[in-house]
Every structure is written in C-alpha cells, then in structure tokens.
Chain A
C-alpha cells in the first residue's frame, strides 16, 4: 500500500561490483594538462558547486523550516518565515502531545507495532520465497517467477476491495492484522526480487560445498544463505520500516477507532480540526512522526544509497 515509495526500489544491495568513487569516466579534465583548460575546469567546478549548494538549500529548506517552526511560539510561525530565531520554546511539543484524543505516544507505539510486524513478516516470507526462486529448480518456476515480477507492477486498487471484504468478514477491522498478516505471505514482491538478485550473486561453490557436506535445503537456507544475505535483509528491513511507517491508505481504511491509529492517520486529526490555528502543535507532532524515518535514514544510508547498484541496469 506504499506504492508511491516503491519508486525508491531498484536496489540490489551491493551485489554488483560497485566501483569505488575514485575513478572518473565523465570527469575528463585531469587527462589534459594545459593550464588554461585547468583554469576553465576550476571555474566550471566552482559554478557547479555553487549551483548544487543552492539546490541543496532549496531542497532542505522546507524541512528546516518545519523543524524550526515547531519550536516557535504559535503567533510567530507565519509572521517570521526565516529559520533564524532566538525565541525558541518546547511548548508546541507539550501541547501537541496531548492535543488529540490520545497522547501522541499511543499513536507512535501503534506505528511501531505495525512496522515491527511488517518487518518480521517480510524478512521471513520473502527470504523463503527468494531462496526457492534463486537456488532451486522446480516445475513452474519460470511462470511463477514471471507472476511474482508482474505483481510488483500491479496497482493495488484492483485487489483492494476483495481484500477489505476478506478482512472484514474475518472480523479483523480495527486490528493490526490486515496490515501485518499479508507481509507474512510475501505480498511485497519487490523484496522477493531484491533477495533473489542477491542470492543469485552468491558464489555457487558455497552451495556446492554445503551439498557435499550433506546439508539439506532447509539447513543450507538457514545456516548458510541467511547469514550471507544480511545486507539484503537489512535493506528489506529498512525499506519496510520506512514504507510501513509512512503508510496512510492501509491504516485509513482498516483502523477506524482513534486508539488504534498509527501516527500517520493520527496527524490527519490536526487538519480535520480546520478551525484550530494551533500550527505549532501540528508542526511539532509532524516532526515527532518524522524522527523515526530520519533515524532509519541515518542508520540505513549505507544500505539505502551505497547499496543501490544495478537493477535498472543490464
């Protein structure tokens, strides 16, 4: 249900040989040594950095403004739009925390439960499926693999209403189950694909050795494959966390009682109260809801960015 974020997907978690950043293909100037050329290169480089710094500021400014505004007294937020201010207060956080029907901690906890459940589910189910697709030969493999790949591109709306009906008939509305159980059934096909890519890139000799030593498939999977694919598992965990934490549509339709809301749906309460002009609280709780994403970004950068290799690539 976090489709818009799937865009961030073509990750191959560093299976492909990522070259170090040292050598330059398009960075030509070093090859020629005429002084004027070098000078021109330096001017170009300075201009480029100037442009990139301006672009970075434009990109990051709304976020900085959000954070700074959340520490400003309410009446100052729109009177002074700058991010330089001396008049800082934590009042918004204190008010915002208790502004909705339940303390914001309840919603954060709900988000956490859903995210942890989804992570565990994806790690188990996707790695099992990936081992089969990546290592085993079986009847129907090509067809099933093609179906699996196709579901990455399937718009979820086309399964939405029957899925909702199933969960409603099971009596699972207003529980976290509709958001967690499908993850235990490898419905996030993208991660299966990511792990298949990773498993295929592992040296064949390892599996050969395991077979000769008499290890069965389950042992080969649990004791050899899983430990080797930790980077792919980490990428899966981080992406699952980010997508589940940000997910809005799923909780919106399945969770109708405030005490079950995750942070994303709870935040909606601030816009529903149109009359309220308590922008400070809204900003403060927005920041609170973004902190886990930001932390995941910091911890996972290595996997999210450095690991980005091929997939889009032949």
Chain B
C-alpha cells in the first residue's frame, strides 16, 4: 500500500473506532529506544523548525544576525502584506503554478501510455523499460540541466533537428516565451519513474478478472475501461498527489537553466528559486519564511483539492 493509502486507512480507522479499545503496549521501552534517532530528528529537524519558521515569518530576520544574541524583531503580518504587493512574488507563483498544471498531467499521461504499451512478456521489454527509466534518475542533476541549456540553445540539438525541415528555431533558453517550456519538456522527459510505478500496478491486477471478462464476451476496449483503468486509478492518484507536491518545489532545473537568475524576464523565476534568492542572496529570512509557509498552504490546498476530486474518479476496491 502507498504512503497515501496508509494515511487513508489510519484516518478511516480513527473515524470508525474513535479512541476506544486501548490495546496493551508491551514494547514501549524498546520501541522508544529504536525510535530515538527518529524522535530527535522529527522534533529537532522537523516539528521544531516548522514552528520556528512560522514564528520567523512574522519577524524581520536577517541571515547574518545571530538569533540568540540579537533576536529577530516581531513585525506582525508585515512580510505577508509585503508579499501581496510584490509583483516578482506573484510572477514566481504564476510561473510555478503554470509549470505544475502543465508538466505534471502531461508527464503522467505519457508515463501511463507507455506503461500500457509495454505488455507483459513482450520482446525487449526490459530494454525499453531501462531506456525510459534512465532519464528519470539523471534528470534532477545539474549535469542534465546544463545539457538542456545546450540542447535548447540557439545552435542546439532541437534547432539542428528543426533545420532539417527548414525551420529556423529561436534560442529557446533565452526567449521569455519559451524558457519555461524547456523546463516543462525536461520534466516530461523524466516520465520513467511514474511509468515504472504504473507498470508495477498493471502487474498487480489479477489475471482472473480479465479471464472472467473474456468469458463474458468483453472486448479489448471494454476490458481496458472496465478493469485496467479503474484498478489503476489509486496509483494514478498516488502519483498525481506526489508529483504535484514535488513539482511545486522545483529548483535545480530552474536555477541551472537560467544561470541562477530566473531569467529571461523572470520567466523561469520558480517559487523556490525566488525564495532562495530572497533568503540566501538578499538575507531576508523573515520574508523567505513567510514565503515558505505560503507555499505549504498552497501545496496543502492543492492536495486537499486532489483528495476531494478523487471521490469522483478514484476507485477503491475495499
């Protein structure tokens, strides 16, 4: 079961049983010892810092000041108000949301289509799978982002290909209308990891469903829409939720492709890149913390929306 599936089960159980029947817990001491590193991590590096960044988002805090010797000054909602009027901020928000809404669905659709094409037992399956999967392992690296700059450069691979058809392509990376598109293409190029998850999902569908459907005279199309697709929806949903969450945090590709500037004309100023520049280049950690919390809220909202929408299309077998 997926991490999402587990969370769903826990939530369902909590609703069903309330806080009833307390079970005996014979392993308390041993368990806490085993969990000690995790407990220190979760308190010291996750929950504590979350609370701290929430507080810092209401302060004026400079990267260079020591918070112990010189506590940050409380400024109320000033950072959030500043955000409202910050055109670069809203631009980065728009760029990132565009990226998420375009690249995630396309990437998942490509991944699903290829997973469906790669039949069980077909010739060359493992070779195709490896070739499609490899880019997703390398895709997040700086080296690939550097390569992308050249592939989509004025004299790059893409324009070399277009030249065969007599088309004189622009310098994609340097053009405000196209730069974001190149990063979207890079994301789609890494469809291998969701594809492999879809493949695993397809293999889990019990053979007898198809046999029973065939006996009942269901054709290929019917079997696909009545068996394959419904049983795959939890996996599509799982991929969708996680991909959206992670796409919002895209940094490396935007940084490298734009040379760290978010250019041209802020067209690749992704949210996280802007946050990095505010916090670590302009040292305005209070504002950066406010941006981080705004991001958390946006991501939570998108995730909640995804869960709500899932009622209409995700099929649960239980």
| A residues neighboring B (CB under 8 Å) | 2-10, 16, 18-19, 21-28, 31, 45, 48-49, 51-52, 55-56, 59-63, 65-66, 78, 81, 124-125, 128-129, 131-133, 136-139, 141-142, 144-163, 165-166, 169, 182, 184-187, 190, 192-193, 197, 216-218, 221, 242-243, 245-246, 248-249, 252-253, 263-265, 267-268, 270-272, 274, 279, 282-283, 286-287, 289-290, 293-294, 297, 301, 304-305, 308-314
Contacts and interface: CB of A to CB of B under 8 A. Distances in A.
B113 to A, nearest CB: 10
Given A129-B34, A248-B255, A311-B197, A4 B140 contact: yes
B53 interface: yes
Nearest to B104: A7
Contacts of A166: 44, 49
Per DSSP, are chain A's interface residues mostly helix, strand or loop, or mixed? helix
A63 B40 contact: no
Given A62-B147, A246-B141, A289-B141, A187 B200 contact: no
Nearest to B315: A314
B280 interface: yes
Contacts of A78: 153, 155-156
Contact of A286 (B125, B146, B250): B146
Given A4-B140, A63-B134, A153-B303, A271 B256 contact: yes
Given A27-B119, A305-B196, A312-B197, A169 B67 contact: yes
B170 interface: no
A157 B2 contact: no
Nearest to B318: A314
Contact of A146 (B7, B118, B202): B7
Contacts of B223: 26, 28
Contact of A141 (B31, B67, B235): B31
B52 interface: yes
Contacts of A141: 25, 31
Interface stretch (B77-85, B87-95, B289-297): B289-297
Contacts of A246: 138, 140-142, 252
Contacts of A310: 1-2, 200-201, 204
Interface in B111-136: 114, 116-136
Nearest to B234: A314
The CB with the most chain B CB atoms within 10 A, among A49, A59, A218, is that of A59
Given A148-B38, A149-B6, A310-B1, A305 B129 contact: yes
B35 interface: yes
B248 interface: yes
A14 B50 CA distance: 35
B98 to A, nearest CB: 17
A224 to B, nearest CB: 14
A185 B44 contact: yes
A232 to B, nearest CB: 15
A49 B49 contact: no
Interface string B201-237: 1111101011000100000100110001000001100
Interface in B292-307: 292-293, 295-296, 299, 303
Contact of A267 (B38, B123, B142, B205): B142
A22 B207 CA distance: 12
A19 B295 contact: no
A221 B248 CA distance: 38
A310 B195 CA distance: 13
B147 A186 contact: no
Interface of B: 1-3, 5-7, 10, 13-14, 23-28, 30-32, 34-38, 40-42, 44-46, 48-50, 52-53, 56, 66-68, 114, 116-144, 146-151, 153, 155-157, 160, 189-190, 193-194, 196-197, 199-205, 207, 209-210, 214, 220, 223-224, 228, 234-235, 238-239, 241-243, 245-253, 255-256, 259-260, 272, 275-276, 279-280, 285, 288-289, 291-293, 295-296, 299, 303, 316-318
B234 A7 contact: no
B143 A286 contact: yes
B27 A136 contact: yes
Contacts of A305: 126, 129-130, 133, 196
Contacts of B135: 59-60, 63
Contacts of B124: 49, 52
A296 to B, nearest CB: 8
A287 B114 CA distance: 28
Contacts of B243: 7
15 contacts: A7-B136, A8-B193, A9-B242, A125-B37, A162-B50, A169-B66, A185-B40, A217-B27, A246-B140, A253-B276, A301-B130, A305-B196, A311-B2, A311-B238, A312-B201
A162 B52 contact: yes
Given A157-B275, A312-B197, A3 B246 contact: yes
Contacts of A265: 142
A271 B256 CA distance: 8
Contacts of B203: 18-19, 309
Contact of A282 (B14, B146, B253): B146
Contacts of B6: 145, 149, 193
A100 B7 CA distance: 48
A56 B132 contact: yes
A270 B142 CA distance: 11
Nearest to B24: A137
Contacts of A156: 249
Contacts of A5: 137, 140
Contacts of B250: 4
A224 B47 CA distance: 33
A248 B148 CA distance: 16
B279 A4 contact: no
